[in-house]
Amino acid sequence: MIQYPVFKVKLKNGNLYIYICVGNSLEFLFIFKQNKYIPTDIGMVSDNSYLSIVATNNCQCKCAYCINSETDHQLNLPMAKAVYNIRKLIRKYGVKEAIILGGEPLLHPNILDLIRDLRESTDLQMIRLTTNGIKLKNNPDFIKELVHKDWGIQGINISFHNQDFMTLNELYDVYKWIKKFNSNIKVRVNMNIWKGNCDTLNLLNSHLYSIRFVDEVRVSNIIPKDSFSVNPVNKGTDLVLSDEEYISLFTKLIKKYEDKYTIIENKDTLGFVRYLLIPTKCPIIINWNLESKVAEQVCENDIVNRKINTFKCLVNGDISLSWNTNNIII
């Protein structure tokens, strides 16, 4: 009979701490960090806030549902102003974490310089990067610089929804190279579900099983582009699963795994983590973006309206301040 690990949950200072039992000791695993809001000149900002740095619109892919699929893919974040604005926001709001996004951020011509500058000249405690992984394939020298312990990123999210742009073997090779050069980095796979892509229980289960070697998987439904107030060209909306379809799919998944996984539900969440499924090594985190609600974001040049316009931020070198509307796993 398979022995599944035992997990303990402790509530401390309003936060949910999750531990795994290792022998006679408890090894820390995750925190469900409860949201707290801080009064500021732009309203109530969460202490879970983080900087969203859109490095470029450029991308090798043309995903129909993506906010960048109908845009000018020639815009790169201006380095000097971006770093200046990042320092300003860190001083003003005490932000400790940043995530570098795109487009495909690794296509920014100075992406390694940007990361190194942030590591060496700011008080950021965590710099993560989200990538489609294409530039990492068969490129160990670049990976070595990207994840360098002294000046590289400290976490990486790889988008792997299917094998259109990266095969499973290529993803495994990238994972091994990252761990070889920096074993402390958590490699998360971001997986989007849309109509025709892992939208049945069998397809979803098969995909999750195939990528179980990574450190964490985060599953989300795609949302209409206009939810971000970015792009009036809203192609790909017909690919979005309805709330009912999304709930039905994950109700079936939870039912299938309930005897094998430790499942923690976070019912109060809005637009973020709803379920944490813990098998052995690779937890599965399920986002709950119902009614197309997303985390609130503020762009420096549109603070009054409390909206983010990715392209204005990108062109002007402004950086958006984002925060989760309820809970976050760290």
Q: State the SS3 of 256-312.
A: HHCCCCEEEECCCCCCCEEEEEECCCCCEEEECCHHHCCCEEEEHHHCCCCCCCHHH
What per-residue confidence (pLDDT) applies to 56? 86
Q: What are phi and psi of 286, to 5 degrees?
A: -110, 115
Strands (E), 50-136: 50-54, 97-101, 126-131
Q: How many CA atoms lie within 13 A of 83 on its CB side?
A: 14
Q: Note the pTM of the prediction, 2 decimals.
A: 0.85
Give the closest residue to 275 by CA, choosing from 306, 307, 249, 313: 249
Q: How far apart are CA 268 and CA 43, in angstroms?
A: 22
Whose tokens are 């017909």? That residue is 238
Question: At the topology level of CATH, where does 35-329 sit?
Answer: TIM Barrel (3.20.20)
273-278 and 284-287 strand pairing = antiparallel
Q: What was the pLDDT predicted at 160?
A: 95
CA distances (Å), origin 136, targets 83, 111, 172, 293, 327: 25, 13, 11, 32, 31
Mean pLDDT split into 10-residue runs, the chain, 330 residues: 57 70 69 67 67 85 74 76 82 83 91 94 91 97 97 96 94 97 94 91 92 90 59 66 86 82 63 61 72 54 52 64 57
Tell me what pLDDT residue 185 has: 93
Q: Where are the domains of the chain?
A: 1-34, 35-329
Alpha carbons 80 and 116: distance in angstroms, whole number: 13
pLDDT attached to residue 166: 94
Three-state secondary structure call for residue 223: coil
- Predicted confidence at residue 271, as pLDDT, reads 44
- The whole-number pLDDT of residue 106 equals 97
Residue 283 has a pLDDT of 75
